[in-house]
Amino acid sequence: MASTDEQPFILIAEDEPNIASFAQMYLEAAGFRVEIAERGDDALDSIEKERPDLLLLDLNLPGVDGFEVTRRIRQGGGAMPILMLTARDDAVDKVVGLELGADDYVTKPFDPRELVARVRAVLRRADAPADVTDAATPPVLEVDDLRIEVGPREVFVKGDEVALTPKEFDLLTALVQARGIVLSREQLLEKVWGYTFLGDSRTIDVHVRQLRRKLGDACPIETVWGTGYKVPARR
């Protein structure tokens, strides 16, 4: 077991054995170390003790449900990537889960290649959370009352810090950097989530809604109907 240190460790919290072992089989074949927790409380114990690199989380779990698992991880300041497993027809679950701080979701039944691609993308982004910026990015970005400190990843409205999730920060920064240019949902998925294939644009819309809620009038993001989002060159 000498090589396990270098293998990313994924915890699957899923009470349906067929789904859990199906995901485990493909993730192990892709080079990940995988453990399964069948209950939410067991998942929380395992997270505490074993610090997985990523949590693949069913929402409807016995013990403590997936929403509560997400809430407790994020309330405790945990930044571990969380990929939700959701039912295909349950849009509300996806939105609530993303709002609680999950990074993304995969719908069941899932294509194992898509699952592996999403896991890799979420892990890649977690390793390099400031990927939306580069050497040419100024250390501070300002749009009227909004101030983004790129290095420490802090956001202020009229001098008061606003707590954003890593993805909210990246999305806001990507749009402010591209000021004056419309970015499509696909471009934003690729920039912020690292997908090179077509993802689900709902993820972007939920994050934009959260940014608007948290930043209020200082949120500079405009919807460009049928195209995407932009921060206008002048406000």
3-class state of residue 128 by DSSP:
coil
Between strands 33-37 and 9-13, the pairing is: parallel
Among 42, 58, 104, 168, binds Ca ion (CB under 5 A): 58
Q: Which CB sits closer to Ca ion, 60 or 184?
A: 60
Based on the shown chain and the rule CB under 5 A, indicate whether residue 7 belongs to the binding site for Ca ion: no
Q: How far is the CB of 122 from Ca ion (least distance, A)?
A: 20
Q: How far is the CB of 62 from Ca ion (least distance, A)?
A: 8
Among the residue ranges 10-18, 78-86, 178-186, 223-231, the one whose residues contact Ca ion (CB under 5 A): 10-18
ω into 129 cis (within 30 of 0): no
Q: Which CB sits closer to Ca ion, 71 or 147?
A: 71
Based on the shown chain and the rule CB under 5 A, indicate whether residue 93 belongs to the binding site for Ca ion: no
Q: How far is the CB of 195 from Ca ion (least distance, A)?
A: 25
Q: How far is the CB of 73 from Ca ion (least distance, A)?
A: 18
- Report the C-alpha gap between 114 and 20 in whole angstroms: 15
Question: Which residue's entry shows tokens 């809604």?
Answer: 209
Among 7, 21, 46, 60, binds Ca ion (CB under 5 A): 60
The angle that helices 202-215 and 91-100 make with each other, rounded to 10 degrees, is 50
Among the residue ranges 11-19, 73-81, 134-142, 173-181, the one whose residues contact Ca ion (CB under 5 A): 11-19
Cβ 193 vs Cβ 175: under 8 Å: no
Of all helices (H) and strands (E), which one includes residue 24? helix 17-29
Map the footprint of Ca ion across residues 13-52, applying CB under 5 A.
15
Shortest CA distance to 118 belongs to which of 42, 167, 56? 56
Q: How far is the CB of 105 from Ca ion (least distance, A)?
A: 14
Give the footprint of Ca ion on this chain (CB under 5 A).
15, 58, 60
